[in-house]
Structure 1
Amino acid sequence: MTSYVFRVRVLPNPPLEFEPDTEVWRDIEVDGSHTLADVHEAIFDAFERWDTHGYEFIARDDEGIALRSYPHPQLYDGGPSWPPMDDEEIDRFIDQAVPDDVSEDAKQRFRDLQSNPPAEGSVTGTTIGDLDSEGVETLSYTFDMGDNWEHYIELQDTREESLDGNPAVVNEQGAAPPQYPEVDD
């Protein structure tokens, strides 16, 4: 079995007064047999969170195109990963938000995935090994859909050995932000 080390960066969140001077991240080692639900738990613990909320992973290809969503088990219904867009919406998005140097192949993949979204994936039924075999390059992860703690997850290293036990933090930078901002009395 293969083990993977992922760097999980928590992105700035100005509404929650989290705008660090340096990146805040945790390197988390997982085994190919760990599920996305296991990865969620590892991230939850690594950033010292205590109040559970909904979350979602988005699998992305090497050009950042969303391939499939993996929502919290209570939000999962096996439906489309996102609402389909019509051709006009897709054209408007490409014109306004996609850099000019993006390949026509990538734009066509985006068109196909937005007009005909894939079914949601299951966080409890999808392993890291499954994502590796599907060519997933990065993940985005949103925790707490109200406060929108956004994370960017990318592969740092792989090893041809199994990880015994649960996912583990193997390196870190920066203090974990408080889950909620301080409230003045």
Structure 2
Amino acid sequence: MANFTATQGRYLAFIHAYTALHGYPPAEADIAAAMCVSPPSVNQMVKTLEKKSLILRHPGQPRSLEVLVPEEEIPAWNNRKPVPTSRPRRKSPIRQASRPSAMPANLYVLSVVLAGGPVGEKHANKVVQRVIEIRGDQTLEQLHQAIFEAYDRWDEHLYEFQFGKRPFDPNGPNYGIDDRPKKKNQGDARTTKLDDLDLKPERAFGYWFDFGDDWYHQLQVDRIEQAIPTVTYPRVIKRVGHSPPQYSEE
């Protein structure tokens, strides 16, 4: 029989009940909210449960907590009987890959800084930045549209995302639309998803808009979280500075 304290049992009960209800395990933030404790407290408890072989987690994989205690020994959550689940217990990360499709999408939090363009004297030498959230299953075309709207533009032009060794590297992989002049390492922004790009936190890349006026933006992955199913993405969560007019005569 598993050996755990009453407090540890409540954590086990919540993880089990949450997994049975949603089809995937809770994040540590979910546990903190349910237990009314701080995230560091949850993290410490998770380490304790793992050390006692009461749970299993797979490093580098989000929402990978798995209760190892037999179901009949798990306490009831909030005085409710645990919800039975017919899903077999995962024995390895390979089994985890077959987790239900309800798994939340990755959420990329991107900082978008205006790096160059035909700004007038009024906007010269001023920081203009937008922070955008976009899901991993959304495309670079959707990211382009989010930046276009975030910078209050109204006249569409060609654009290109550049993923070379440095931002604005013309020789690295680049993504735009099909009617551009063909280039080496060119991909289609309309079909390329954020998850396809193997992005990591602090990864920087370039966005070039309007091949005549040449508006340059440097993007950086601030962090990668998990999308909230009820929120519509992409969305702007922070604005710094006023958008310069798209054309200098405006």
Same-fold status (TM-score > 0.5): yes
Contact preservation (8 Å) 2:201, 2:223: no
1:57/1:133 Cα in 2 relative to 1: closer, same or farther (>3 Å)?
closer
C-alpha separation between the residues in 2 aligned to 1:133 and 1:30?
A: 13
1:60/1:137 Cα in 2 relative to 1: closer, same or farther (>3 Å)?
farther
1:76/1:137 Cα in 2 relative to 1: closer, same or farther (>3 Å)?
farther
Contact preservation (8 Å) 2:116, 2:217: no
**After the TM superposition, which parts of structure 1 deviate over 6 Å for at least 4 consecutive aligned residues?**
none
Larger Rg: 2
Unaligned runs of 5+ in 1: 81-118
Percent identity at matched positions?
31
Q: Which one-letter code corresponds to 1:139 in the other structure? A: F
Specify the alignment match of 1:71 in structure 2: 176
1:97-134 deviations in whole A, cap 9, x for unaligned?
xxxxxxxxxxxxxxxxxxxxxx2111011111111269
Give the structure-2-normalised TM-score: 0.51
The one of 233, 238, 241 aligned to 1:171: 238
Specify the alignment match of 1:9 in structure 2: 113
Contact preservation (8 Å) 1:59, 1:69: yes
Pairing 1:11-90 to 2, within 5 Å after superposition: 11-13=115-117, 15-17=118-120, 19-61=123-165, 67-75=172-180, 77=182, 79-80=183-184
Q: How far 1:158 moved relative to its partner?
A: 1.4
1:112-164 deviations in whole A, cap 9, x for unaligned?
xxxxxxx2111011111111269992220111100000000001121133564
Q: More strand per residue: 1 or 2?
A: 1
C-alpha separation between the residues in 1 aligned to 2:220 and 2:214?
A: 19
C-alpha separation between the residues in 2 aligned to 1:76 and 1:165?
A: 34
Contact preservation (8 Å) 1:2, 1:162: no
- For CA contacts below 8 A with separation 6 or more, give which structure has more relative contact order: 1
Q: Which one-letter code corresponds to 1:173 in the other structure? A: V
The one of 127, 132, 136 aligned to 2:198: 132
Which sits farther off after the overlay, 146-155 or 132-141? Answer: 132-141
Contact preservation (8 Å) 1:2, 1:32: yes
Unaligned runs of 5+ in 2: 1-104
Question: Aligned residue pairs: how many?
Answer: 142
